[in-house]
Chains A and B, each alone.
Chain A
Amino acid sequence: GENVEQHPSTLSVQEGDSAVIKCTYSDSASNYFPWYKQELGKGPQLIIDIRSNVGEKKDQRIAVTLNKTAKHFSLHITETQPEDSAVYFCAAGSARQLTFGSGTQLTVLP
């Protein structure tokens, strides 16, 4: 089955700096890569996703890049704000099931 590894497990940045979270996956059949954000006391919420026919996607301060050859994808958050502090999960999916990474606790320091 699919195996998704996510790094780092914790990340602290100063407000206004950029944050990058990286994931690798094992199954070359995976073709859908969403990112979810989980705030304290809440369930995860989709923030951005990318499909395998696209190399990069951007939505305001958030961008995701995908390298299918190397089987890795990354989340980039620019101009970080305190409200970006949360746990972020990457996932990889194909046809029937999503497999999630282990999560990154992002802390934005004021």
Chain B
Amino acid sequence: DVKVTQSSRYLVKRTGEKVFLECVQDMDHENMFWYRQDPGLGLRLIYFSYDVKMKEKGDIPEGYSVSREKKERFSLILESASTNQTSMYLCASSPPGLVYNEQFFGPGTRLTVL
């Protein structure tokens, strides 16, 4: 079974802090994605990566950056956390072909910024 793990289930940070969200997948997938999930807004794509050291902006990249130094690991970075970044963050991975393959999601990290 594909397994996507996220470093924390719950995280509380202060405004202005630098925040790292880590995601690891064990299926050798090329593609990895970061989404945020908010009530009434569904899943919105922040960034995705289709190869090591490659990244592309999604629909809402402002205030975020990402890092993919190894194939299995994709990190989301909030350079200076703000209260409007309080949300559920979901990581996903998929085989090659950005759209037409099933995305496997992690359990999510609920981030609260105070």
Interface residues of A (CB under 8 A from B): 1, 4, 6, 9, 32, 34, 36, 41-46, 49, 51, 89, 93-103
- State whether B42 touches A97 (Cβ < 8 A): no
- State whether B100 touches A43 (Cβ < 8 A): no
Query: Which residues of B are found within 8 Å of A41, using beta-carbon distances?
Result: 107
Subset of 16 A-B contacts with CB under 8 Å: A32-B100, A34-B102, A42-B105, A42-B107, A43-B4, A43-B104, A44-B103, A46-B103, A49-B102, A51-B100, A89-B42, A95-B99, A97-B48, A98-B103, A100-B42, A100-B44
- State whether A97 touches B40 (Cβ < 8 A): no
Query: Which residues of B are found within 8 Å of A93, using beta-carbon distances?
Result: 99-100
- State whether A102 touches B99 (Cβ < 8 A): no
Q: Please, how many angstroms separate the alpha-carbon atoms of A32 and B98 in the complex?
A: 11
Q: Please, how many angstroms separate the alpha-carbon atoms of A46 and B105 in the complex?
A: 9
Q: A42-B105, A44-B105 are in contact. List 11 more A-B contacts (CB 8 A).
A: A41-B107, A42-B107, A43-B92, A43-B105, A46-B102, A51-B100, A93-B99, A95-B98, A98-B103, A99-B59, A103-B40
- State whether A102 touches B106 (Cβ < 8 A): no
Nearest CB of chain A from residue B10's CB, rounded to whole Å: 11
Nearest CB of chain A from residue B88's CB, rounded to whole Å: 10
Given contacts A43-B105, A44-B90, A44-B105, whether A98 and B42 have CB atoms under 8 Å apart is no
- State whether A43 touches B106 (Cβ < 8 A): yes
Interface residues of B (CB under 8 A from A): 4, 35, 40-45, 48, 58-59, 90, 92, 98-100, 102-108
- State whether A43 touches B90 (Cβ < 8 A): yes
Q: Please, how many angstroms separate the alpha-carbon atoms of A41 and B88 in the complex?
A: 11
- State whether A96 touches B43 (Cβ < 8 A): no
Given contacts A43-B108, A44-B105, whether A97 and B44 have CB atoms under 8 Å apart is no
Tell me the nearest residue of chain B to A1, going by C-beta. B59
